[in-house]
Amino acid sequence: MAKSGKIYYCQNCGTRHTQWMGQCPVCKQWNTIVEEVVSRRDVKKGAAAPAPKRVRTLRLTDIDGQSGRRLTTSDSELDTVLGGGLVPGSVTLLGGEPGIGKSTLLLQAALRMPYKVLYVSGEESPAQIKMRARRLGMDENNRVLILPETHMQTILPEAQREQPQVIVVDSIQTLHTDYVDSSPGSVSQIRETAAEWIRYAKETGTPVLLIGHITKEGVIAGPKVLEHMVDTVLQFEGDRYHRFRILRALKNRYGNTREIGLYEMTAKGLEPVQNPSGIIPGTHGEASGTALGMVSEGVRSFAVETQALVSPSVYGTPQRSVTGYDLKRLHMILAVLEKRAGMRLLQNDVFLNITGGLRITDTALDLAVAAALISSYEDEPLPPDTAFMGEIGLTGEIRPVSGDARQALHEAAKIGIRKIYVSAHQSLESVPDGLEVVRWMKVSQLYHLF
Ligand code: TYD
Ligand code: MG
């Protein structure tokens, strides 16, 4: 029998409320709470895992370890971020802002995979998908089945009939199921359709990749609730107006979350970036306010260019703006430079930019950020062919980096860096020929460069 009740969900963070409110008390967003009528028909509301028909306990020795075998996506970056390929029966959510390249990434992976793939598309028509496949140079592929459908009760029987080895869903926000009355894209629809995919994946052992749009704030819109339900959450980031994209794992039940994938958006789809340091344009050392930093993201070490602009404020309150780095981290570095290195920034606007549209989380970039800031403040370029690698502590000390310093040094030498500034406490096993390592204690020593 149908049973229905009124439930209120915040469309931003997915929190369930018992009554309507103007502001969500959890995420503090206004006008995001909407009423969703959830009716439960004969079928039980989707639990994360289906109830087994016959309960049976297992010994570890009874379990077939072979089921842990992974399926390659034929995309080296995607495989690495997943922890070595797709795990049978796993559900992966790929989040990212509209236009960043999620559909491109998964369509090209689907076309290259040596498996029968079902590509469920609620976003684009078959003709549009065909055009994209042609652009990717793979429209002759006949292993990928396109299903332009958004109704779960139509999709699932089709999947059961075709028995694909991998399923891609573009996107979870477009789907709707009969078991919930609210509109597609609402929290209860997203939760229920995802639960149905999870059930399908676990029952059939088919890996399912779900695309989900995220909002500007970096929250997977509405389906934040999904993060807890799925096995793996990947995020595709970058600036849609730049060429480079980073793929990160935010959660991974089958691997670590340190690995990243780097891509370049080209006219023929997303190409893996083999040499990340190639991203840097090579203007460093010529203009004031630019510094090269060596960072490690996951197992990759590469150089990034930081650009700073410190200029007198026009308005009463000085502005601090950052692209590609943590704003709070910039505030911290500015406070340390004021207190420990005698800079006076209260009358200045500060802009910081990581070039290439990359977003860096590694704090090893702190020293390069500080160097770029001082260089702009002094309006003096930094010496050419130098790089920086070190975290900055609150007392103004330069701290050693936790990533793979050896690989970072090799990468630095490879791109022609002659001198690198690191923490006095940095442990280094070997230093490549032609690279001079300078060990510093305090961030104020940056002034020695001018
Ligand atoms: P898309 O995959 O549609 O983004 P999403 O699914 O995340 O919304 O693609 C985003 C952009 O990529 C789009 O503006 C066009 C561009 N693009 C290329 O530059 N090269 C290509 O080969 C393809 C297929 C797309
Ligand atoms: Mg898309």
Q: Is the distance from CB of 241 to CB of 234 less than 8 angstroms?
A: no
Which atom in ligand 1 lies closest to the alpha carbon of residue 102?
7
Q: Are residues 303 and 267 in the same domain?
A: no
> For ligand 1, what atom is nearest to the CA of residue 236?
7
**Residue 83 contacts residue 254 (beta carbons within 8 Å):** yes
Residues 394 and 416 in one domain: yes
d(CA 194, CA 225): 10
**Which protein residue has the closest C-alpha to ligand 1 atom 9?**
101
Tell whether 248 and 291 lie within a shared domain: no
The owner of tokens 């359709």 is 193
pLDDT of residue 281: 54
Predicted pLDDT at 356: 75
Same domain as 100, residue 78: yes
Tally of domains within the chain = 3
Residue 265 CA, distance from chain mean position = 16
List, for residues 317-326, the tens digit of each pLDDT value. Answer: 899 999 989 9
- Check whether residue 383 and residue 249 sit in a common domain: no
List the one residue out of 89, 367, 49, 303 whose CA is nearest residue 201.
89
Domain identity same for 264 and 282: no
CA distance 99 to 88: 29
Half-sphere exposure of 215 (CA within 13 A, CB side): 10
Range 256-282 burial, b when 16+ CB lie within 10 A, else e? ebebbbbbbbeeebbeebeebbebbee
Residues 119 and 82 both lie in one domain: yes
48 in a structural domain: no
Final residue of a domain: which of 225, 255, 274? 274
Query: 10 Å Cβ neighbour count for 435?
Result: 18
**pTM of model > 0.85:** no
Is the residue at 52 inside a domain? no
**Which residue in this structure is represented by tokens 């040094």?**
409
Q: Is residue 55 part of a domain?
A: no
Domain boundary among 255, 274, 293: 274
Residue 73, in any domain of the structure: yes
Average pLDDT of the chain to the nearest whole number:
87
Query: Going by CA atoms, what residue is nearest to atom 12 of ligand 1?
Result: 101
| Angstrom distance (rounded) from CA 231 to CA 145 | 24
Instruction: Identify whether residues 185 and 310 lie together within a single domain.
Output: no
Q: In this structure, is residue 436 part of a structural domain?
A: yes
Cβ neighbour number for residue 45 with a 10 Å cutoff: 13
How confident is the model over 76-127, as pLDDT tens digits?
999 999 999 999 999 999 998 888 999 999 999 999 999 999 999 998 999 9
Please report which helix (H) or strand (E) contains residue 333, including its range: helix 327-340
Range of the domain at 15: 2-41
Residue 185 clears pLDDT 70, i.e. is over it = yes
Same domain, residue pair 293 and 372: yes
E strands present in 313-346: 320-323
Nearest residue by C-alpha to atom 14 in ligand 1: 99
- 52 exposure class (CB count in 10 Å sphere: 0-12, 13-18, 19+): exposed
Nearest residue (by CA) to ligand 1, atom 22, is 269
Ligand 1 site, residue 168, Cβ cutoff 6 A: no
Beta carbon of 137 within 6 Å of any ligand 1 atom: no
Supply the CATH number for residue 424's domain. 3.30.230.10
Query: What ligand is nearest to the CA atom of residue 170?
Result: 2
Does 372 map to a domain?
yes
Residue 383, in any domain of the structure: yes
pLDDT given at position 430? 84
Evaluate whether residue 61 is within a structural domain.
Answer: no
Most trustworthy range by pLDDT among 14-18, 67-71, 91-95, 221-225? 91-95
Token pair 């919930």 in the structure block, residue: 180
CATH number at residue 214: 3.40.50.300
d(C-alpha 379, C-alpha 374), whole Å:
8
Dihedral angle of Cα 38, 212, 210, 87, to the nearest 10 degrees: -120
296 lies in the same domain as 323: yes
- Euclidean distance between CA atoms 346 and 365, whole angstroms: 23
Are residues 33 and 151 part of one domain? no
- Confidence grade of residue 217 (pLDDT, cut at 50, 70, 90): low
Q: Are residues 230 and 334 in the same domain?
A: no
